[in-house]
Structure 1
């Protein structure tokens, strides 16, 4: 329940950032929400309605293809952001576009970072990138960068290049604050030694969108067979993952070490 409240609050902050700082100056955000803002500016449709419509098919596909817990939290975030964009009035807090882009990006990053800390996401490009990297050997960060680059170019051609540059400022500020709040760069490697390898593996694969490598081991003293599972997670997933392991096998041995670097697709199933 605590995660839900954090996601709702973070999503509300995103709505405030958009309607008070970004939208009044035709500044787009990163991701699919940026496209929703663009359509909201050039059509009579409300940005919140467009955001929900754009995310809806991705949420359905993600629910089938990705971890259901992750997608459920993402659905809550997308609905909360869409409702916030619909009910919060569009108010020009600052008359300076560059200041609005900077503060809008910072507040957006704070909101999105809180959503990430609660094991969810703001939807949109995050889901697209995860689906692509699950099937193709593309780095997740590169995929997101390319798609966000497309948003910046669209802003330049549809509005003006000042708006595009301000959009780059907003996206950069958002990314920096998300890293500060979420510390997504902190990865942990888990080595799980268990007599119930299949149960633990299925539990992890069903609830955590991370690859799991399974090996066969043998107890040196008892000579009994054991499954050895290896996976890499973010620091904020640790509490949930430990609970899952405990539910599947209370006697499992878990060694947690901090990972310096991950090379390759972090999300790809091994």
Structure 2
């Protein structure tokens, strides 16, 4: 799906805002409180602290964040999508830049407050990026790759992949630091799941008078089955069509943008879907269909 100028500008605003939130979380709460963030950010913090303690070499966390995300970005390019990875790399660059520019300043001497606020603020940054179709890099990309194949929540997978950071913080620094890191990561994962829950499925009912155009556009942007139902407005007495399809929340953004581009007057109702039976393609099967190969 080709993004409009306004949509690209909206994504750029989210990129800058997400990067700023992550940098604020690191420099104002986590780093001064000796609490470690999630994923690549936490690994960058650990490496920065270890390099300084062992070799007296001070390497900024922002520089390490960018370095760690290079191989992860390559993984995302091939496994998640080029557009997704492109905007994710921009978000990594944004967060790295703000982390380098902003001073490290302790806003709270209470480690519990620092852990909670650091986790919540970074969770908002990560969740917003995912909601708009990209990520903040690092473990976000790895978690999304795993979420598409396991069906588990992005937040829970991110939490499980951060265990190595927690254990390293406990052994190398202190177990109190590790405990506060757990609290911070848990707060972040809950916020991420509240904002972006890609494992959840939705049933979309779209009422439109431009059914053929909408179906054609949807089939180009989403590989999902669409059921077309004849309908008639009770008030207007006008003929229309109802399109019904089941999607994941990860696909919701593309669905909304596609409908808005083709038929701005369409009415869309989204319903949470508890369970499904039958052929619901996962990301690997969708990729095979895009390449014209069989999913069997």
> Which bin holds the TM-score, normalised by the shorter protein?
0.7 to 0.9
Match of 1:83 in 2: 97
Match of 1:209 in 2: none
Match of 1:233 in 2: 248
Question: 1:138 offset after TM fit, Å?
Answer: 6.0
Deviations 1:211-246 (A, max 9, x none): x44479899xxxxxxxx88441328934x4233357
Match of 2:270 in 1: 257
Scaled by the length of structure 1, the TM-score of the pair is 0.76
Contact 2:228–2:244 (8 Å) recurs in 1: no
CA RMSD of aligned residues (A): 3.6
Q: 2:164 and 2:276 mapped to 1: Cα distance?
A: 26
Return 151-160 or 192-201, whichever deviates more. Answer: 192-201
Contact 1:21–1:94 (8 Å) recurs in 2: yes
Q: 1:97 and 1:263 mapped to 2: Cα distance?
A: 44
Specify every segment of 5 or more residues in structure 1 that has no aligned partner in the other structure, as ranges: 205-211, 220-227
Which one scores higher on RCO, CA 8 angstroms, separation ≥ 6? 1
Indicate yes or no: 2:177 matched with 1:163.
yes
Q: 1:132 and 1:65 mapped to 2: Cα distance?
A: 10
Q: 2:72 and 2:125 mapped to 1: Cα distance?
A: 21
Q: Residue 204 of structure 2: which of 190, 202, 217 is its match?
A: 190
Distance 1:19 1:216, change over 3 A: closer
Specify every segment of 5 or more residues in structure 2 that has no aligned partner in the other structure, as ranges: 1-8, 52-57, 231-242, 286-296
Indicate yes or no: 2:69 matched with 1:61.
no
Indicate yes or no: 2:19 matched with 1:11.
yes
Match of 2:219 in 1: 201
Question: 1:12 offset after TM fit, Å?
Answer: 0.4
Q: 1:58 and 1:40 mapped to 2: Cα distance?
A: 19
Contact 2:15–2:91 (8 Å) recurs in 1: yes
Aligned length: 252
